[in-house]
Chain A
Amino acid sequence: MNIDFALLVPEFLLAGLVFVMFGVDLFLPADKKAYLPYLGVAGLMAVIGSVFSLLGDEGSLYGGIFLVDEYALFFKVFFPIVGIVMMLASRDFVTKHLENPGEFYGLVMVSVLAMMLMASAAELLTGYIALELLSFCLYIMAAYAKREARSNEAGIKYILIGAFSSAFLLYGISLIYGSVGTTTFTGIAEALQAGDDLRTAFLAGLIFIVVGFGFKVVAVPFHMWAPDVYEGAPVPVTAYLAVASKAASFVLMLRLFATAFMPALDDWKIIIAVLAALTMTVGNVVAISQSSIKRLMAYSSIGHAGFIMVGIAALSESASNALMLYLVGYSAATFAAFLCIIIYFNLTGKEQIVDFAGLAERSPMLALALTVSLFSLAGLPFFAGFTIKFYLFTAAAREGLLWLAAIAMINSLISVYYYLMVIKQMYMKPAQDPQESTTAVERLKVPPVTTALLALLIGVVFLVGVYPAPIVHLIEEATPLLFSNAATSLASGP
């Protein structure tokens, strides 16, 4: 077997940089540690550069269990960007509220590495190990505010549930291996097309895998842990959980379902569709009654997980395009919203929805940015949310799931209500607090780096909203490959 290690350069580079980060952290005096994220950003940019150098020589490694194709490369650019955003977004927060910043940024980099591996994984165990690597980083990060009981509780809950869901995944993998005799995605697809005497064990395995992923992407009824963990974790980590962990799980899930399980589409379509409907309904309805902005965002992200699952249920090339675009638009808008929440928390230490009263007076820029991101999440036009929802729901309707699309639209309507509640606080309520009537009207000073970052994210939200063609073009090159394995084996099948 000819192994082209050049394909692994980004991963090796990133792994090396993690140790550089840990090493530099050891020797850096405490007052200089605020510069660490810039080191991380430079490193991740180098990683992105090395990914670009791979364009054009796609290939596979280790007998096809590790793929470097356009799909993987797309996300190998996407995830480091998420990592960069995460480091810059959390810089002020970490400096102020957390100990051991070096390890924190190191963990972010390890998690980016894990997500990059997930994008490439074309075999169940490889995918599982990458997912575990990501999860372990997140367990630690959720409990990173170690002097805070809330954060500790979040960490414990998260690791227990995480272990539980991993067990489901592993059991599902073993059942599938038992029934088809292979764990590679293409192998599973071929076995599915060849024989039909393996239905029961295979289906059981598939359901276990769905349950396992259900925990990871926070689908109802496997969502109970999420609001507590989201609320307890430090705010930037909450953002990271809502964006990165969810996106990476969907990236792996999409490849798994599109490549391996596609031949059995009719068996699992309805399961995923029902899960999606449940997830979005529970997420959006429960979000209405929240008073903490972090919990609101937690339930909103559950609702969005439901929307994204519509794309899996309606799996087709069009749906897969839509799903990838959704991940981009959702990530940008969610991170932008969280960045506003982080900035506000850094400046005031508050995180209730009512605390946002009068933000439009205190910092018009911040209020506008949060409004734009929430409008985008609500799916209103000019912003990414409208485009991605329209694309995804149309793709679903095309695959005969108009009923699911209709449920999704109604949920989207519900979400408008609770996002407006936040906007109402910012624009229509006076910035008055009886205890601190003197400071309330003070303007908030937002640091320039975060302002620039926020502008960038909002820019992406607008770009996807009004001119998605460039990104869609990249996506359209990536998706056919997901289905090509199934298609070629279909052609060569009996």
Chain B
Amino acid sequence: MKLAIAVISVLTLGLSIYIFVAFDNDLQGYQFQTNRYEWLSDLGVTFHLGVDGIATPMVLLTGIVMVTAIFMSWNLNYRTKDFFALLMVLITGVYGVFLSLDLFFLFFFYELAVVPMYLLIGVWGSTRKEYGALKLVLYLVASSVLVWVGILAIFIEGGLGSFNLLDLKEAEFGSGFQRAVFPLLMFGFGVLAGLWPFHTWSPDGHVAAPTSVSMLHAGVLMKLGAFGIIRVALELLPQGAEDWKLVLVGLATVNVIYGAIAAMSQKDLKYVIGYSSISHMGYVLMGIATLDPRGMTGAVYQMFSHGIMTALFFALVGVVYDRTHTRDISILEGLSKRMGITATFFAVAGLTSMGLPGLSGFIAELLVFVGLFKTYPVIGVLGVIGAAITAVYILRLLAKVFFGPLDPRWEKLPDCSRLEGAAMLGLVAVLIFGGVYPQPFTSMIDSGVGPILQRISLLT
């Protein structure tokens, strides 16, 4: 069973890589489109898949995080079959959202990604798992109601009798309508992206979730929210984006600063990473709100980079928790003496999180800041301050938990296993590759971001 899952997931990663490599940045529109299979003709629902320059890196991200997450939970021994089956449902949902060109199926898969989270966290989780699982599901289903209303409103107002994104792009939406519906989608998808003040489900969910679920949760699930804002809200309602961008950038700034400060004051390793995710998703939302080519490209690249980085973080926290059975920062001390590999990887992830040159996070944040300084200089300064706070809590964490004197009780700690090490090494490699040679990513994202921003710039 486990072997079958491993083979399938590696094959899927292979396909994702193939799509990434074979994607042609110079072509217009969506690539690798499937036929439009009629699914419910009465409503004009079609099953139609395709990717653009924004979805392709996300597909690759999903593939990478999926494979590593599965290897990280290789030694799970409680109801293994159920666990991996649910994990696969979750991944199906994630892929589906990134690939769907039909709003019905986008929503279908969006909800599908949420369903298994309840059981994955509730059954296999740890600290306050029932609370965390329920909170997460209720937040996400509630936010999906907003998305649902928004999609229905677009469907009705479009008047084409079609849920297909390509058809709806041709439809005319009045500016009043756009102003009214954009916030539904912005907040609806925003909740999943961890938008302040609707973010609390995420850290609580992380703390309760098992390692691989945390990896997928922060690595790809939260990206669905940001992706939804771009794919549905920005593409279909450009005027609404123009009207609401100030609100979005304002909330995103709170995300960055508040998330970083909250991360600084946490005692639980997972809460630290959870709040740092909130902070980093703030950069993504900021970048989107710039509506500027640099900023948007940075936002999407940040989605990719943060996805890999945070998956690595949660994998490492999982390793530490597995060996020490605690995530309490005040107890953990000097682990690098016994867990050299883990400590090194943690340092790489931490440096990416701080935006150190040579790692993918630097490129992403740089692009976001360039976009920000062009559009909202003041917010740009706040963003940089956020990055500075990030440096503080990451360095403090590294110093306390990994470096420094070894606590005698961790004297006999084994390092990560070979399988875990290999999986995490893969993530580290992607981070470094993305940092030294970002060209394939950024030019691909540019090709996806371009047409969207063109529609917006035509308005003014």
Contacts and interface: CB of A to CB of B under 8 A. Distances in A.
Contacts of B413: none
A381 B108 contact: yes
A187 interface: no
Interface in B153-167: 153, 155-156
A476 B42 contact: yes
A420 B119 CA distance: 10
A424 B107 CA distance: 25
B40 A380 contact: no
Contact of A469 (B39, B109, B122, B156): B39
Contact of B40 (A393, A397, A428, A468): A468
A386 B145 CA distance: 12
A386 B96 CA distance: 16
Query: Which of B39, B41, B111, B118 has most A Cβ within 10 Å?
Result: B118
A373 to B, nearest CB: 14
Given A318-B42, A393-B152, A413 B141 contact: yes
Given A321-B42, A413-B142, A428-B130, A386 B123 contact: no
A423 B118 CA distance: 10
Interface stretch (A176-184, A222-230, A289-297, A404-412): A404-412
A368 to B, nearest CB: 9
B42 A375 contact: no
A324 to B, nearest CB: 11
Contacts of B108: 381, 386
B43 interface: yes
B130 A402 contact: no
Interface in B105-131: 107-109, 111-112, 114-115, 118-119, 122-123, 129-130
B134 interface: yes
A423 B109 CA distance: 21
A413 B114 CA distance: 13
Contacts of B112: 380-382
B210 to A, nearest CB: 14
Instruction: Categorize the interface residue count of chain A.
Output: 35 or more
B130 A318 contact: no
Nearest to B184: A406
Given A410-B145, A428-B123, A381 B42 contact: no
A171 interface: no
A38 interface: no
Given A381-B109, A413-B141, A402 B153 contact: yes
Nearest to B110: A381
B149 interface: yes
B99 to A, nearest CB: 15
A390 interface: yes
Query: Which of B89, B109, B134 has most A Cβ within 10 Å?
Result: B134
A394 interface: yes
Interface residues of B, number: 34
B118 A420 contact: yes
B138 interface: yes
A469 B41 CA distance: 8
A176 B107 CA distance: 45
A390 B104 contact: yes
Given A380-B111, A428-B129, A472-B42, A397 B152 contact: yes
B407 interface: no
A427 interface: yes
A409 B145 contact: yes
Interface string A409-441: 110110011001001100110000000000000
A424 B137 CA distance: 12
Contacts of B123: 360, 427-428
A445 interface: no
B321 interface: no
Interface in A312-368: 318, 321, 360, 364
Contacts of A402: 149, 152-153, 156
A375 to B, nearest CB: 6
Given A375-B115, A472-B40, A405 B149 contact: yes
Contact of A381 (B111, B122, B155): B111
B148 interface: yes
Given A402-B156, A420-B118, A424-B130, A469 B40 contact: yes
Contacts of A393: 148, 152
A416 B156 contact: no
A168 interface: no
Contact of B145 (A387, A398, A413, A468): A413
Given A381-B115, A417-B134, A420-B118, 14 more contacts: A360-B123, A380-B114, A381-B108, A381-B111, A382-B112, A386-B111, A390-B104, A394-B43, A397-B155, A398-B156, A405-B152, A409-B149, A420-B134, A427-B119
State the 10 A-B residue pairs at the shortest beta-carbon distance, nearest first: A397-B152, A381-B112, A409-B145, A381-B108, A381-B111, A428-B122, A380-B115, A406-B149, A416-B141, A427-B123
8 contacts: A382-B89, A390-B148, A395-B43, A402-B153, A402-B156, A412-B145, A420-B134, A420-B137
